[in-house]
Amino acid sequence: MSRTFFLLFFTVSLFAKNSFFDYTYSYVLQKDQVAKIDIKKDYLPTKKQDGKLEFRWTLYKAGKLVLLVNYEGHPTQYLLEKRYKRNSVKISLVGDYPTVSKEAFAIIRFDSFKNKKANLYVMIRDPQKRMEVRFK
């Protein structure tokens, strides 16, 4: 399932450029610098941190980047590399989608590391147009 999705994702992204995604943004972050994204959904917030996506990196060693992601108060840690299938992480944004093709999700992709700064791309897909996204 995941192989099929990533193969489809990269094929579509190669031919359609960024038209597959509704929102894209690029971050150049120093160590422990927090990137924030506000996601306003089409329903009332149910918890204090509803619709907040924050991420930062804490360590870069031997070509690997430790990324800390906090989405709606749920912290997770990822180890990213610049190699294919190890350079990105997918975060599901809304859990009540009817089919997989209508799922709203964000992808954070690690692109490069230069001068003690990490270059990260955020791509958000919202096929049902249920969200308003603000990058900070």
> Looking at the domain that runs over 21-135, which CATH code has it been given?
2.60.98
Question: Residue 112's Cα: distance from chain center in Å?
Answer: 16
Rounded to the nearest 10°, the torsion over CA 43, 48, 54, 59 is -150
1: confidence class by pLDDT, cuts 50, 70, 90: low
Model pLDDT for residues 20-74, shown as the tens digit of each residue: 999 999 999 999 999 999 999 887 666 777 889 999 999 999 999 999 999 999 9
- In this structure, are residues 60 and 113 in contact, taking their beta carbons and an 8 Å threshold? yes
pLDDT value at residue 112: 94
- What is the rounded distance in angstroms from the CA atom of residue 119 to the CA atom of residue 28? 5
Q: Quote the pTM value.
A: 0.81
The answer to whether residues 39 and 92 touch, using CB atoms and an 8 Å cutoff, is no
Q: How far apart (Å, rounded) are the C-alpha atoms in residues 46 and 86?
A: 33
